[in-house]
Chains A and B, each alone.
Chain A
Amino acid sequence: MSSGSTKNILSFTEDLLIRVYEKLSSGSDRKSWRLVCREFLRVDLVTQNHLRVLRVEFLPGLLRKYTRLQSLDFSVCPRIDDGTVSMLLPRHGSGSESDSLSWGSWARGLKCLVLSRATGLGFFGLEALVHVCPLLEIVDVSYCCGFGDREAAALSHAAGLRVLKMDKCLNLSDVGLAKIAVRCGRLECLSLKWCMEITDLGIGLLCKKRVDLKSLDISYLKVRNESLHSIASMKKLEVLAMVGCPVVDDFGLQFLENGCPMLQGMDVSRCECVSSSGLISVIKGHSGLRELNASYSFPELCTTFLHCLKGLKHLELIRIDGSRISETSFSVISAHCKSLLEIGLSKCVGVNNMGIMQLVSGCVNLRILNLTCCHSITDAAISAIADSCRNLICLKLESCDMITEKSLYQLSSFCLLLEEIDLTDCHGVNDKGLKYLSSCSGLQCLKLGLCMNISDKGLFNIGSNCPKIHELDLYRCTGIGDESLAAISKGCKNLMKLNLSYCSGITDRGLEYVGHMHELSDLEMRGLEKVTGAGLAAVAAGCKRLSDLDLKHCDKVDDSSFWALACHAKNIRQINLSYCAISDMALCMVMANLTHLQDAKLVHLNNVSVEGFELALRACFVQIKKVKLFAPLSYLLSSEILENLHAKGCKIRWD
């Protein structure tokens, strides 16, 4: 950028700057923007309306600066609890008057609050948050396993609530649901996945009170057909997810035939008692169905079901994973579901080249195609796919053994929009194939796990031609070495997820290249036998954004590198140290200094004593949410620390 143009952008008026700023999508870009000058920072402060908090200690300052916040995300902040909330609330009598006035202003415009996994938060904190945010519309408290009726009651005070996710709020019962159903009059979208206490009564009341609900997720609930009877009365329901409802059967689905006139999406996957006849009745009543997920629900696609599919002119998505399918079925689908965008055929028995050819002859708009474990697929089918579906974005070919580089050639020639391809366990993939594939320059996600035949040469092509890759899976690619990582770290600057597990050729030098991947957030490096402390230290020093690190079976990594980890990798949220040669001292250092650690797997640490564990857990108990420990430790650790962990909402898994 020349100095003239820099002057130009600085002389932009604020609204222009805001427009430019709004074009920036990634967080790191916005960070760079903030660092340009004060004016740019100001633009950032007045424009930014979403905040995802990792470090709670910065939260008060951030909330004071960002006055236009609409969305606040605590999902990665392990230390949000009642105490933190009480500090953020408007308080009188503390601090100066102006200070207390500015307090709480952040909450006034807040519309979206993500508290997923905020297990440290209690009822009082939640209620306080809800009370200070009058405009709250979207709340996510999923995976707050301790949440129940009281928390639901607190949430129900947010009268303007439109979207509520309560997945895995294990203590939520009909009573809490009733509170929400009665008080949240604008509710449109509700997810109750894994809220196992909910019964037909609760669902029935919800359906009576919230007739305007557009989306409902009752997956894994033990509700009976009666619930579907009440759900059928909802006139505006568009999406119904009922994955894994073990008691609901075809009679229940029959209620839906004449109900829910607006239904567009239906997920009945893994419902054991549902057969195709139940699904047929749903389809008969809803010709406008767009999405249908019937994975693992019935063993065989019967012809009547296929005939019903004819009526679904608008079907965009169908997943029939795990069922038996014949060639004729494909011809029916391709003849009638012309607008199909996504089809899931994972683990389907009977998928062969002919079938796929028939399918793609009609469904030319396919964007996502899942052929996982369709073992009899060969290059011919892939050629047909590449030839017909030019708009293909995602192709999953895991365990399609017969695929060779010819398929990749075809794909790279025609499917230029390809963003994601899963070639895990495809032994036919080799360096040549990767060279072809690298011409799909838009590739973002590439999975090459268990592809033994690829080497540095192939990955060099990927590294040099696919700059947009942000996820790369090289699990057990034993043929690759440090040069691959050199090429990737040079070319793929956006790489965020990297799996190097059991790539035995990788040495410390390779990890030094990894240390140059500044965007890297997830790194799996299990069982790297040649890697020592120096390699890990380089990663720790270089990858500032690292949040998930798996070091299982890295036997040669020594204490010095763990010290480096403790010093540099401040953003780590998940760590697996199992089978590492870490000592008492280093473990305590790691656990105490990684202040955002939420999930730690600490089994089979042979050099760590019970006192070491005790001390380490004490050091991290404020933020830890989940810890995996060697089972005999349950008797050796003091009950006090275990109780403390439990009270803090931490789950201990004994191995």
Chain B
Amino acid sequence: MDLNNRLSGNELQKNLSGQPGFGNFNTQHPQKWEDPSIIDYSMRIEPPFRGFNQVKVGQDGLVNELRPTNKIQEWDPSAMLSSFSFLEQKIHQLRDLVHLIVGRRGQVLGRPDELVTQQQQLITADLTSIIVQLISTAGSLLPYVKSTHSAAPPSMGQFGQLGGAVFPSIPGLNGGIQLQNTSGSKVSNQPNQNDVSANCGSEQNHNNEEHDLKEEEDAEEGENLPPGSYEILQPEKEEILAPHTHFCTICGKGFKRDANLRMHMRGHGDEYKTPAALAKPHKESSSEPTLIKRYSCPCTGCKRNKDHKKFQPLKTILCVKNHYKRTHCDKSYTCSRCNTKRFSVVADLKTHEKHCGKDKWLCSCGTTFSRKDKLFGHIALFQGHTPAIASEETKAQVGPFERREGNQVTNKVGSMNFNFSPNASSESGVQNIMNVKGNIDDPTTYFSPLNFDNLGGFNDFPRPPFDDSESSFGFLLPGSCNYNQKSAADDSNNLA
């Protein structure tokens, strides 16, 4: 898919979503990935907001609908309005708080750490109070609802069912409504704030996995497309994984971008050199109302697959590609700097590499920090975590030396280092810790370019993601065999 399509998709999204604030949130734009922290937070925090807003709208509609029919019980719309304004205020406060957190945390952590979860909990608590308020507001409506239906005993559970029944008519709201439903029913069953927060937390919890999060991003959260209002396309697996999407009709050469194809076409004759032929071919199509296209993931059981009961369509073909690679493919791109982070989309790797290594304070658990005090705060918090030693790598670069004998004066300064892994001892290798350690601590022995060549594929190399500080971060060698590793990784990827 070319840039135009993507852009048009954007506009489309904006138009359709009806929520400009969130519609801007374009996921496939590579630059958006630059600061995942923002994405992180907005993903975490804002969907519930939107959900509530929508719920509010929906309830307003409901209220309007219900008002004329039922005037039996005293229902005070002005009280509800005031409670809505309270909610609004509360949400604004919370949003400000989240913005503050986002601003403060300039650097992103690759994986969620305790600080993030703490902040999450804080926000969750606030959200809980909002939800409780919302429920109590909605609860004031309850008698009305009951009276309109059969004479069933009034129960919150029914309200939940009711919500489920009423709201699906607006499909885009599913996520938000669902949250509302579950929390509502929970509260009715056991009025326990913790439980509510747990439910709210679940919304956030599945953001913990980085790629889930990005996937969420692909989802058109604000889209309110009713099912059937768009055409569902499901590209095949091969099509998704194909390196090229645009092919020359004359010679068959493939291109990743339409623009490149158009440039290529110039070589096939003068007719392709006209400004019209070279222009972006989208203008006329966007003007006439065509059926909106949405995409489905070919993997059955995936939430992005059209057969899934909570199907969330993907907006563009690029979304499908990214989603498919991130979710259903191996993460074959490894960061050549940290050697721990792995990605299945090259753009993700590049984004990561931009800030990889800037977090120079490392913990033995693998978490990186931009500031020393943050690291020490982390270590103080967790049992058994220790800081990884940066100097270990630089020192370990000095290769093993032969054992010096007696008083023999060696000329090399570095020869003061002794090799603790003589072949004799490595044969039995049971107790000789030095041997093991020496090898692990010395990345040059393990990860020399030679070794990579020998290993052939980078994928073949077995390595736990975060085994131990000394070994996993031993590879943070400034400028050591970067190129080789990278090329090895690329090669292996191509092979795979």
Contact = CB atoms under 8 A, between A and B. Distances in A.
Q: Do A and B come from one complex?
A: yes
B376 A204 contact: yes
Interface residues of A, number: 48
Contacts of B395: 123, 150
Contacts of A156: 386
Interface stretch (A264-272, A520-528, A643-651): A643-651
B416 A81 contact: yes
A120 B416 CA distance: 8
A127 interface: yes
Nearest to B423: A93
Contacts of B413: 643-644, 646-647
Contact of B416 (A86, A92, A122, A618): A122
Interface in A595-620: 618
B434 A201 contact: no
A127 B373 CA distance: 28
Contacts of A132: 433
Given A131-B434, A178-B386, A179-B386, A93 B427 contact: yes
A183 interface: yes
Interface in B385-411: 385-392, 395, 403-404, 407, 409-411
B376 A176 contact: no
Contacts of A640: 411
Contacts of A175: 387-390
A86 B380 CA distance: 36
Interface string B432-452: 111001100000000000000
Contacts of B415: 647
B389 A150 contact: yes
Contact of A178 (B376, B407, B424, B431): B376
A131 B436 CA distance: 12
A124 B420 contact: yes
A83 B392 contact: no
Contact of A648 (B388, B416, B428, B433): B416
Contacts of A549: none
A174 B372 contact: yes
B427 A127 contact: no
B235 interface: no
Interface in A96-137: 104, 120, 122-125, 127-128, 131-132
A93 B417 contact: no
Contact of A618 (B388, B409, B431, B434): B409
Interface in A199-214: 201-202, 204-205, 208-209
B409 A83 contact: no
A127 B376 contact: no
Given A174-B372, A175-B390, A82 B380 contact: no
B414 A90 contact: no
A618 B408 CA distance: 10
A149 interface: yes
B416 A82 contact: yes
A201 B376 CA distance: 7
A183 B414 CA distance: 31
Contact of A124 (B391, B407, B409, B434): B434
B384 interface: yes
B64 interface: no
A297 B379 CA distance: 35
B380 A83 contact: no
B378 to A, nearest CB: 10
Contacts of B388: 175
Given A124-B417, A150-B395, A208-B380, A83 B425 contact: no
A99 to B, nearest CB: 14
Given A125-B418, A127-B434, A175-B389, A182 B379 contact: yes
Given A82-B418, A205-B376, A648-B416, A92 B391 contact: no
A309 interface: no
Contacts of B380: 204-205, 208-209
Contacts of A104: 431
B143 to A, nearest CB: 56
Contacts of A179: 386-387, 389
Contact of B417 (A82, A91, A127, A204): A82
Contacts of B389: 149-150, 153, 175-176, 179
A76 to B, nearest CB: 20
A148 interface: yes
Contacts of A92: 424-425, 427-432
Of B380, B387, B410, most buried by chain A (CB within 10 Å of CB) is B387
Interface in B463-480: 470
Interface string A208-227: 11000000000000000000
A255 interface: no
B32 to A, nearest CB: 35
Contacts of A171: 391
B426 to A, nearest CB: 9
A621 interface: yes
A371 to B, nearest CB: 47
A531 interface: no
Contacts of A201: 372-373, 376
Contact of A128 (B414, B420, B427): B420
B399 to A, nearest CB: 13
Contacts of A174: 372, 376, 387
A148 B395 CA distance: 12
Interface string B20-63: 00000000000000000000000000000000000000000000
A201 to B, nearest CB: 5
B387 A93 contact: no
Nearest to A131: B433
Nearest to A149: B389
A403 interface: no
Contacts of A94: 424-425
Interface string A24-55: 00000000000000000000000000000000
A456 B338 CA distance: 76
Contacts of B432: 89-92
Contacts of B411: 640, 644
Interface string A481-520: 0000000000000000000000000000000000000000
Interface string A618-655: 10011000000000000000001001101110000000
A90 B431 contact: yes
B390 to A, nearest CB: 7
A93 B424 contact: yes
A81 B410 CA distance: 15
A510 B35 CA distance: 83
Of B385, B391, B428, most buried by chain A (CB within 10 Å of CB) is B391
Contacts of B420: 82, 86, 124, 128
Given A91-B432, A175-B389, A208-B380, A124 B424 contact: no
A83 B418 contact: yes
Contacts of A618: 409
Given A204-B376, A647-B414, A89 B434 contact: yes
A86 B386 CA distance: 28
A182 B386 contact: yes
Contacts of A82: 416-418, 420
Of A124, A127, A150, A648, most buried by chain B (CB within 10 Å of CB) is A124
9 contacts: A81-B418, A86-B420, A122-B416, A128-B420, A149-B389, A153-B389, A153-B392, A209-B380, A622-B409
Interface of B: 372-373, 376, 379-380, 384-392, 395, 403-404, 407, 409-411, 413-418, 420, 422, 424-425, 427-434, 437-438, 470
Given A127-B433, A179-B389, A182-B386, 17 more contacts: A81-B416, A86-B403, A89-B434, A90-B431, A92-B424, A94-B425, A148-B391, A150-B389, A153-B392, A174-B372, A174-B387, A176-B389, A205-B376, A208-B380, A644-B411, A646-B413, A647-B416
